[in-house]
Structure 1
Amino acid sequence: MLDDFLVRAALAGVGLALATGPLGAFVVWRRMAYFGDATAHAAILGVALALAADLPITLGTLVVALAMALTVAGLAARGWAMDTTLGVLAHSALAFGLVAISFFPAVRNDLSSYLFGDILAVSRSDLGLIWGGAALVLLLIAWRWQALLTATLNEDLAHASGLNPARERLVLVLALALAVAVALKIVGALLIAAMLIIPAAAARGLARSPEAMALGAIGIGAASSLAGLQLSLWQDTPAGPSIIVAAAAFFAASSTLGRLRGAV
């Protein structure tokens, strides 16, 4: 019989995969990996501001992640060189967050849980938050799926179809901020981007349609969470990084399988 905390951890991992799978597909298609990093790193600053204002951690994380995502999207629309800009914003936000948290000794002693996650400490209320956030992300993506796909493929085609690419980018920004707020408790700020990118990249080599890639990313993300938890249980390794190790193994396997299929 599985312990209750392991069941909660497994459910949290599956809930996270539901949010990051389809969203990660768009992150990969749009080459927004660094965008995800900047938003995730800002989450640490959100933790510090929430503590200073005596607000719920998730609310502070969501507000700051959304502010960062909107800032990055606005700069991109103005033609800024995004590689350099994202590098500056991502690392500056993380540094500011770490410095701010240093003023809260109780949190400083438990800083690793915000950086690398603490999925084994997920409570029932956390589960409700995780699955609720995942449901909102899925609803946003499902609602705008075709429009998002068209804007991702070709912005000129989106304009010709009567769509507004800026609006679709805003939908992605909102979904990304939600996913970051949901994922902070599970895999931490430093590993959130990995859960967005690796399962989607692994699914891309096997999928034959955008929908199949999004569903495959959900499946691989969920399997990575369960396999990472099993590895953590067997070898007493950190749960969050173990989940990413499992996802990397799935990516390596899918890449190998994709090459073998291409060679046949």
Structure 2
Amino acid sequence: MLDDFLIRAALAGVGLSLATGPLGSFVVWRRMAYFGDATAHAAILGVALALAFDLPVTFGTLVVALAMAVTVATLAARGWAMDTTLGVLAHSALAFGLVAVSFVPGARTDLSAWLFGDILAVSRADLAYVWGGAAVVLALLAWRWQALLTTTLNEDLAHASGLDPARERLILTVALAVVVAVAIKVVGALLIAALLIIPAAAARGLSRTPERMAVLATLLGAGAALAGLQLSLWQDTPAGPSIIAAAAILFALSAMFGRVRRG
């Protein structure tokens, strides 16, 4: 019989994958990897502010991640050089967050959990946040799926179809902020972007349609979460990094399979 904390951890990993699979596909298609990093790194500042003002950590990370995502999206729309801008914002947000955490009594000892995740300590309330956040992200993406695909394919085509690319970017921005807020307890701020990108990248070479890629990315993400938990229990390794390591192995296997299939 599995212990309750293992069941909660497995459910958290699977629930998070429901959101990171389809959203990660858009991150890969739109080359938003560094955008995800900047948003995730800003979450540490949200953790510090939430602890300082005795607010729910999920709320604090959501507000700060959303503020960072909107800032980046606004600068991108104004033509700023994104590689440099994202580099400055991502590392500055992480640095300010780490400095702010140092002023919060008792927070230093818990810092590694926010940086690398602590999925084995997920509570029932955390589980509700994860599945609730995943439901919000899935609803947003399902609602605007075709519009998001059209905008991703070609913004001129989106304009011709009566769509507003800026609005679609905002929807992705909100979805990304929600994922960051609910994922920080599972894999930590430093690894959220990896959970978005790696399963989607693994699914890309095995899929012929966007819908199949999103579904396969979800399955690979869930498989990586369960395999990472098993590795963590088996070898006593950190759970968050173990999940990302399992995802990386799945990516390598998918790349080899894709090469054999093409050959």
Aligned position for 1:91: 91
Aligned position for 1:29: 29
Query: Distance in 2 between the 1:32 and 1:132 partners?
Result: 24
Query: Distance in 2 between the 1:226 and 1:56 partners?
Result: 27
Report Cα offsets for 1:122-167 as digits up to 9, x if no partner.
0111111110000000000000000000000000000000000000
Query: Distance in 2 between the 1:185 and 1:19 partners?
Result: 15
After superposition, where does 1:1-264 map in structure 2 within 5 Å? 1-263=1-263
Gap runs ≥5 in structure 2: none
Structure 1 counterpart SS, 2:51: helix
Query: Distance in 2 between the 1:147 and 1:23 partners?
Result: 14
**In the comparison of the two structures, how many residue pairs are matched?**
263
Report Cα offsets for 1:44-80 as digits up to 9, x if no partner.
0001111222211110100000000000000000000
Query: Distance in 1 between the 2:159 and 2:126 partners?
Result: 41
Query: Distance in 1 between the 2:169 and 2:148 partners?
Result: 8
Report Cα offsets for 1:223-263 as digits up to 9, x if no partner.
00000000001000000000000000000000000111111
- 1:38 Cα deviation from its structure 2 partner: 0.1
Query: Distance in 1 between the 2:260 and 2:98 partners?
Result: 45
Report Cα offsets for 1:65-116 as digits up to 9, x if no partner.
0000000000000000000000000000000000000011311111000000
TM-score by length of 1: 0.99
Query: Distance in 2 between the 1:78 and 1:52 partners?
Result: 34
Report Cα offsets for 1:5-25 as digits up to 9, x if no partner.
000000000001001000000
TM-score by length of 2: 0.99
Alignment RMSD (CA, Å): 0.5
Amino acid in the other structure paired with 2:251: F
Query: Distance in 1 between the 2:252 and 2:56 partners?
Result: 38
Gap runs ≥5 in structure 1: none
Query: Distance in 2 between the 1:109 and 1:185 partners?
Result: 15
Structure 1 counterpart SS, 2:206: coil
Query: Distance in 1 between the 2:54 and 2:17 partners?
Result: 30
Query: Distance in 1 between the 2:144 and 2:61 partners?
Result: 24
Query: Distance in 2 between the 1:230 and 1:52 partners?
Result: 35
Amino acid in the other structure paired with 1:123: S
Structure 2 counterpart SS, 1:106: coil
Query: Distance in 2 between the 1:154 and 1:47 partners?
Result: 37
Query: Distance in 1 between the 2:116 and 2:165 partners?
Result: 34
Query: Distance in 1 between the 2:127 and 2:48 partners?
Result: 23
Query: Distance in 2 between the 1:235 and 1:54 partners?
Result: 36
Structure 1 counterpart SS, 2:107: helix
Query: Distance in 1 between the 2:215 and 2:207 partners?
Result: 9
